[in-house]
Amino acid sequence: MEYIKKKILDYGRMIKFSHTIFALPFALSAVALAWEHHSPSFSDFFWILTAMVGARSAAMGFNRIVDADIDSKNKRTAIREIPSGLLSKKEGLVFVALSSLIFIFSAAMLSSLCFILSFPVLFLLLFYSYTKRFSKYCHLYLGFAISLAPIGAWVAITGTLSWNIIFLSLSLMTYIAGFDILYACQDIDFDQSQGLFSLPARIGPQKAMQISSMLHVATFIFLYIMYVTFDMHPVFLAFLGIIGLLLIAEHKLVTPDNLKHINIAFFHVNSVISVLIFIGVLIQGFFR
């Protein structure tokens, strides 16, 4: 029993399960926005949540396998489960295969359209693991791949793709890409030594952080456009104002000369932002 418990914890740490908090609220926000004209059942919620967990687990697990050799050379990442020997690559592959099947099965339980779309979506998610090897815009690709979550949730509930839900996905794409650029600033020297293509390693931390700031300005703008196109209740603007202040605070915490608060900015601030977006969408729905 202790062995099983340890393995579960190892797998959870490998995929950083707690980081699901970044994208999941956006997917749930899409469900809340669809709720006005469609009534999702409990099973819809269950299979959307299961699909989200399966897709993210598969993508993160695959990333850890693909990057295992590189991670073993980096002091910051050498303690990860596969480089440190807590999990083998074979165990990782089994985990990725099972997670992928869970995602595909969950999509099938939602609709035949979701089942068909699950295959290209899974490919796009897994392909991210190779982008840092040839493109400095890998952060934007990561944002794009994760931004499919709200669209997927919307399609699962409505059976169609509406143009206005795209603004929620664009806000997620720029939000993820922006803070992933900040996070990559920790490994500039290592990425340069290994010939990797992170944006900070290629153009320097100062310019990279400026791009990150612009992306987060775009996040705020896309959220406002979503507010307008969905004709949301003005109460959402209060949440949007707080989110704007938190985005500013994130960029005050992390500067080219000071990265010591990067974990606070990356996890704590971003977690609050994600949750606030969902709560704001949910509460404005009740007011309407």
CA distance from start to end of the chain: 50
Where along the chain do its domains lie? 2-287
Q: Look at residues 275, 283, 168, 278 and name the one whose alpha carbon lies nearest to residue 230.
A: 168
Could you read off the pLDDT of 95-113 as tens digits, one per residue?
999 999 999 999 999 999 9
CATH of span 2-287? 1.10.357.140
User: Which tokens in the block code for residue 223?
Assistant: 């959220």
Q: Which residues of the chain have pLDDT under 70?
A: 1-2, 17-19, 264-266
Ramachandran region, residue 135 (left: φ > 0; alpha: ψ -120 to 50; beta: rest):
beta
Neighbours of 62 (CB within 10 A): 25
Please give the backbone phi and psi of residue 164, each rounded to the nearest 5 degrees, phi first.
-70, -25
Instruction: Report the pLDDT value the prediction gives residue 56, as an integer from 0 to 100.
Output: 93
Distance CA 205, CA 219 (A): 21
pLDDT confidence of residue 22: 78
For CA atoms 259, 24, 281, 232, give the dihedral sign. Answer: positive
Tell me the sheet residues that pair with 255.
Answer: 258
User: Cα(8)–Cα(3) distance, rounded to whole angstroms?
Assistant: 9
Predicted confidence at residue 266, as pLDDT, reads 67
Q: Quick: pLDDT tens for 245-254.
A: 999 998 888 8
- The reported pLDDT for the residue numbered 97 is 97
Q: Assign 230 to helix, strand or coil.
A: coil
Q: What is the pLDDT of residue 17?
A: 67
pLDDT at 257: 75
Strands (DSSP E) contained in the chain are none
Q: List CB contacts of 102: < 8 A, sequence separation 6 or more.
A: 50, 51, 53, 54, 57
